[in-house]
Amino acid sequence: MNRRERHGATELLRLEGVSMHYGSGANAVSALSGVDLTVKRGELVAIMGASGSGKSTLLTIAGGLVTPTSGEVVIDGQYLSDASSAQLAAIRRRVLGFVFQDFNLVPALTAIENVQLPLELDGWKRHKARLAALDALRLVDLEDRADHFPDDLSGGQQQRTAIARAVVGGRSLILADEPTGALDSHTGELVLRMLRSRIDDGAGGILVTHDARHAAWADRIVFLKDGRIVNETRRDDPSALLGARA
């Protein structure tokens, strides 16, 4: 039984016919059109596509940060359209972890304070939050930098801190928007290995990337063009993998 099977086919995220229009009338932009996508536990889905193809829009909708014009988002069995704002806030705090291209760490807080912040916002006692944050930093091999400020960390260490913050306290759906864009390829690979290990432990995730070598860390690669899914390849399809690495 491989790791994915052990964690079962539990669906973490489902997008059903999601469309998104910005603006109205002559200025209307169609950013997504009828997108269907599921992410299961233990599964990392890469999204590739040209600039402006709708990748970031898809991620913000998948994370409940933006409500789509039409279609449904289901996170861990909960239809977001049925969720109260309190339920939505709880899902964002407890299930979802975002990783951004530019790290988005709070400069005035140390690495561990950055990681424990979402837990404290969720009402955790400081001591308990600190222990969980230390666990998350250990996962990305950064416990020895826990008390450093972001300015004193390398780019890769900052991004690993951001990954720790995205998974701390057992967050299970990790949404990463070009998390390796600002990193050299060696450091980018390190960050992806950390992400992959969290996914293999039972989280699920979406990785937006421009880099086919990075997409090859995913189980599936979904290609977006003009807001539509135009192609999908699986990692266990050798010809697809060769194509993705070319």
Give the residues lining the site for ligand ADP (CB under 6 A): 22-23, 29, 31, 49, 51-57
Q: Which of 56/157 has CB closer to Mg ion?
A: 56
The length of the chain is 246
Q: Which of 9/29 has CB closer to ligand ADP?
A: 29
Q: Which of 161/209 has CB closer to ligand ADP?
A: 209
CA-to-CA separations, 54 to 163, 164, 209, in angstroms, rounded: 23, 26, 12
Please provide the DSSP assignment of 26-78 as one string.
GG-EEEEEEEEEEEETT-EEEEE--TTSSHHHHHHHHTTSS--SEEEEEETTE
| Binding partner of residue 157 among Mg ion, ligand ADP, none, CB cut-off 5 to 8 Å per kind | none
Positions touching Mg ion (CB under 5 A) are 55-56
What are the tokens at 167?
Answer: 């998974």
Compute the least distance from the CB of residue 102 to ligand ADP, in Å.
14
Compute the least distance from the CB of residue 91 to Mg ion, in Å.
22
Give the number of other Cβ atoms within 10 Å of residue 190's Cβ: 19
| Binding partner of residue 49 among ligand ADP, Mg ion, none, CB cut-off 5 to 8 Å per kind | ligand ADP
Task: For the sheet with 78-79, list strands across it.
Answer: 29-40, 11-22, 70-75, 78-79
| Binding partner of residue 31 among ligand ADP, Mg ion, none, CB cut-off 5 to 8 Å per kind | ligand ADP
Q: Which of 33/57 has CB closer to ligand ADP?
A: 57
The helix (H) or strand (E) run that includes residue 174 is strand 173-177
Q: Which of 55/198 has CB closer to Mg ion?
A: 55
| Binding partner of residue 54 among Mg ion, ligand ADP, none, CB cut-off 5 to 8 Å per kind | ligand ADP
The helix (H) or strand (E) run that includes residue 195 is helix 185-200
Give the number of other Cβ atoms within 10 Å of residue 96's Cβ: 22
Q: Which of 111/208 has CB closer to ligand ADP?
A: 208
Measured from each CB, the residue nearest to Mg ion is: 56
Q: SS3 of 14, please?
A: strand
Compute the least distance from the CB of residue 178 to Mg ion, in Å.
7
Compute the least distance from the CB of residue 66 to ligand ADP, in Å.
8
Q: In this structure, are residues 206 and 176 in contact, taking their beta carbons and an 8 Å threshold?
A: yes
Compute the least distance from the CB of residue 35 to Mg ion, in Å.
15
